[in-house]
């Protein structure tokens, strides 16, 4: 499972939990011509294709990062993932991933956006922010369920769950990658606030408490090294190490 795969799993869990509770009562990357400095060497070290050896507690696979005309495409034996990167003039980076799916209960959409300061700012423990927005549009039939009518405001078929996160730089840390020592910069992501839209006032506190654990599971720590890319990622109970194999 890649970073985006782990994130998608949590978002699916959050939305599935939402549906269950109601019944019961990481596009492509930004255009390749954009300037990613100073983040470029931390995201992928070459202008073509790079392969990484990824090891998790329960799996071992190869991940490929390829810079195409449309942007950066990340793929592995576990699937292909679309990630959008947008560099800003101040050296910060905006990362976005989106997903959507449908069920007999309604249409689900999720969007995750993270604003990372520059690598040098992360080394100085500076902060960024992230937001995940989960939206559920109920079918007319599902909206008539008594538990749904008790939870949502009168006449509403849309539930929006928003999680706001703090990204904090972790400074620098030495890693051994492929037998060589590298210095990486890190960042951690932690949930700070949950916002509910279209939920009745008297139900907000209890419902927020029920979905907060799933949103809090997005907590992660990740590390990047220049000329190497991502070297470590820890996400809830999931962790992985990344070793650059080759670039062409």
Q: Does 38 sit behind a cis peptide bond, omega within 30 degrees of 0 on the bond before it?
A: yes
For the chain, the straight-line distance linking the first and the last C-alpha, in angstroms and rounded, comes to 24
- The model carries a pTM of 0.73
- Choose among 81, 65, 82, 79: nearest CA to 29: 82
CB atoms within 10 A of CB 62: 13
pLDDT for 46 = 62
Q: Give the β-pairing of 49-55 and 158-177.
A: unpaired
Give per-residue pLDDT as tens, 74-95. 676 666 555 677 778 788 988 8
pLDDT digit of tens for each residue in the chain (248 aa)? 344 444 444 554 555 444 444 443 333 333 334 445 688 778 766 667 888 888 877 788 888 877 665 556 667 666 655 567 777 878 898 888 877 888 888 999 888 899 999 999 999 999 999 999 999 999 999 999 999 999 999 999 999 999 999 999 999 999 988 788 999 999 999 999 999 999 999 999 999 999 999 888 878 899 999 888 888 888 765 667 777 788 77
Q: What region does 150 belong to: left with phi over 0, alpha with psi -120 to 50, or beta? A: alpha
Q: Tokens 């959409």 correspond to what residue? A: 109
pLDDT for 195 = 96
Q: Domain spans of the chain?
A: 3-247
């Amino acid at each position: 499972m890649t970073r985006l795969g782990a994130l998608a799993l949590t978002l699916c869990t959050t939305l599935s939990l939402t549906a269950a509770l109601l019944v019961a009562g990481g596009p492509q990357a930004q255009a390749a011509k954009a300037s990613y400095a100073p983040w470029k060497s931390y995201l992928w070290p070459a202008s073509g294709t790079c392969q990484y050896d990824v090891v998790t507690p329960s799996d071992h696979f190869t991940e490929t990062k390829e810079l195409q005309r449309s942007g950066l495409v990340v793929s592995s034996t576990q699937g292909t993932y679309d990630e959008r990167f947008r560099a800003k003039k101040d050296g910060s980076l905006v990362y976005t991933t989106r997903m959507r799916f449908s069920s007999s209960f309604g249409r689900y959409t999720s969007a995750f956006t993270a604003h990372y300061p520059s690598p040098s700012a992360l080394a100085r423990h500076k902060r960024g922010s992230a937001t995940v927005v989960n939206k559920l549009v109920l079918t007319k039939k599902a909206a008539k369920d008594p538990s749904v009518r008790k939870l949502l405001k009168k006449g509403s078929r849309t539930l929006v769950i928003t999680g706001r996160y703090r990204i904090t730089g972790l400074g620098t840390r030495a890693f051994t990658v492929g037998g060589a020592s590298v210095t990486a910069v890190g960042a951690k992501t932690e949930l700070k606030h949950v916002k509910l839209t279209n939920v009745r006032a008297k139900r907000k506190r209890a419902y927020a408490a029920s979905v907060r654990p799933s949103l809090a599971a997005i907590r992660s720590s990740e590390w990047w090294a220049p000329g190497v890319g991502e070297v470590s990622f820890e996400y809830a109970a999931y962790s992985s190490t990344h070793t650059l194999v080759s670039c062409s």
